[in-house]
Amino acid sequence: MKRRLLTVVAAVPVAAAAYLPVSASADTYNALNGSAASKATGTGFTCSSFTVPAPEGTAVESVTAVDVPAGSYLVPGPPPLGGYSVPDVPAHCEVTVTLTHPGADDHAKVSVWLPSAGWNGRFQAVGGAAYQAGDLGAVAAQVKQGYAVATTDAGVSNGLDVSWALQADGTLNKALLENFSSRSAHEMALVAKQVIADVYGKPADYSYWNGCSTGGRQGYMEAQRYPTDFDGINADAPGINWNQFEVATLWPQVVMNETKTYPTTCEFDAFNTAAVKACDKLDGITDGLIGNPDRCDFDPRRLIGTKVVCDGKEITITAADAEVVRKIWDGPRDTHGKRLWYGLPVGATFDYLAASTTGADGNPVGSPFFVPSVWVSTFVKKQPAFNTADLTYAQFDQIFQQARAEFDQTIGTRDADLSAFRDAGGKLITWHGDSDQLIPTAGTVDYRERVEARMGGSKKVDDFYRVFLAPGVDHCGLTNGRSDDMAALTAWVEQGKAPAVLHATLPTTTGKTVTRDVCHYPMVSRYTGHGDPADPASFRCVTQH
């Protein structure tokens, strides 16, 4: 299946250059004078001058093509999204195209890396994280797998910097927000397809999107608004329902501020330990995993009066501690008690969203997680100094509604109509950890169920869109959670083999990992009652109740 490339509006020539190999300690290539052109035997590979058409509504500011020898690549930017080295990156052509939208004064870079030899015939676009639209580290990693790979910076800064959000007069920079939200990923797809066709002398056979968190949200946005860009989309732990979940993840801070109760990490861990102990066996086996968190009805008030040892001191769990945990798990509600969104999944760490520290007066104060905090302070309130640790229930309710009203059409990524993507033959896979500490897994289920309601039910939606919920896995599998999602997506797109399960490695609360088949929603994995628990064949997929 082939997709359209792009509508030609304008073109500029490539400025070709040659660079020295990069070492593990270098953060840039050293430029040399002269032009470069390389040929990969039998591929028609050419990293030299060509023209790049500008996607509609843009102008091309500059294009460079660099023939890069094999070596290590130091990912630019501060940790954790940069500052690390990717070893053994093969020789490749790096094409950088800078786009602008006339009148917007933006400068969005599209980076396309194309292996000099061993290209697998596929194009893969990779998404970003937090407030970063792309990921050069993922680009380098996927070039090693034989893909022609692209990403974009959308004209914004790295993921920990939102200084681009407000203009000098304090108003929102709507052009850059639109870039970050939707259009830069689309324009990157168009540009990259053209670059691939020019460098290899033929278009890619298949086009894929691959991203997690912000990258997952970008993947859904592509399916919703630009359904012909990709044959397959792998969108993990997706930041869809942006305004609901992003504001909702400040709820733990609101609860602690209103109750003036700030449990320590040790105390929070005691609640999770008790919940896992109570609910672990519900999937037929005690293995350090809650197989189906929806069935876990552990009441945190059961721990009231329990003594736990924290930093060598014995602490008694109070009713106030239990009420904080109950409200965090329950999720945000408005001032009338109506549910606004979903809470922290049972079993997910409290460390990020319910963090606290010691204030100047020696008393505990909230320490909000950066991403939702700056969304509220900078984008919604447009006051970067606004303190989200001091939110009241009434303020939270007002901000929740304000964010939805102002930003849902731009970045909400909630449109449940995927009919155009389905009709184009696209396939969409999402893998989301049941212990995601940053994006509630229930939000992904909510979206999937809304798609079903709009598009004819579960079986019809399964024909092109499948969700896999992974027990014990945290955000983007940061702690040893892995699956064969891209391999499954490729088989679905290219061979028509719809995945019933994903083969996965799951971390348990015992510190070990287990190999399991993760069932596609709404099925869950259950132990058969016999066989080696370490063998995935000892489990079967059953309909959850």
Q: What homologous superfamily does CATH list for 111-240+414-543?
A: Alpha/Beta hydrolase fold, catalytic domain (3.40.50.1820)
Q: pLDDT (tens digit, 0 to 9) for every residue of the chain, 545 residues total? A: 433 333 223 333 333 222 222 222 222 222 222 222 333 333 578 898 778 999 999 999 999 999 999 999 999 988 888 889 999 999 999 999 999 999 999 999 999 999 999 999 999 999 999 999 999 999 999 999 999 999 999 999 877 899 999 999 999 999 999 999 999 999 999 999 999 999 999 999 999 999 999 999 999 999 999 999 999 999 999 999 999 999 999 999 999 999 999 999 999 999 999 999 999 998 888 989 988 888 899 999 999 999 999 999 999 999 999 999 999 999 999 999 999 999 999 999 999 999 999 999 999 999 999 999 999 999 999 999 999 999 999 999 999 999 999 999 999 999 999 999 999 999 999 999 999 999 999 999 999 999 999 999 999 999 999 999 999 999 999 888 889 999 999 999 999 999 999 999 999 988 889 999 999 999 999 999 888 888 899 999 998 75
The per-residue pLDDT for 350 is 98
In the prediction, which pLDDT does 534 show? 83
Q: Answer yes or no: are the C-beta atoms of 473 and 506 closer than 8 Å.
A: yes
Pair of tokens at residue 528:
């058969």
> What residues are labeled active site?
213, 436, 475
Answer left, alpha or beta for residue 259, where phi above 0 means left and psi between -120 and 50 means alpha.
alpha
Give CATH 3.40.50.1820 domain extents, the chain: 111-240+414-543
Beta bridge partners of 113: 94, 149
State the pLDDT at residue 43: 53
In a 3-state reduction of DSSP, which class is residue 318? coil
Question: Please, what is the angle between helix 184-200 and helix 214-225, to 10°?
Answer: 80
Amino acid (one-letter) located at 282:
L
- What is the Cα Rg of the chain in Å? 24
How far CA 233 is from CA of 138, 182, 500, 523, in Å, comes to 16, 15, 17, 21
DSSP-assigned states of every residue in 123-185: EEEE--BTTB---HHHHHHHHTTT-EEEEE-TT---TT--TTSB-TTS-B-HHHHHIIIIIHH
Helix (H) or strand (E) holding 66: strand 59-68
323 contact partners, CB below 8 Å, separation of at least 6: 259, 261, 300, 301
Q: Report the sign of the C-alpha dihedral through residues 321, 325, 330, 334, in that order.
A: positive
Q: Count CA atoms within 13 Å of residue 430 on its CB side.
A: 31
Q: Is the link from the previous residue into 522 a cis peptide, with omega within 30 of 0?
A: yes
- Cβ neighbours of 135 (radius 10 Å): 28
CA distances from 258 to 250, 370, 485 (A): 13, 20, 42
DSSP state of 302: G
What is the predicted pLDDT for the residue at 545?
57
Nearest-5° angle of CA 155, CA 157, CA 158? Answer: 130
pLDDT (0 to 100) of residue 543 = 87
Three-state DSSP at 224 gives helix
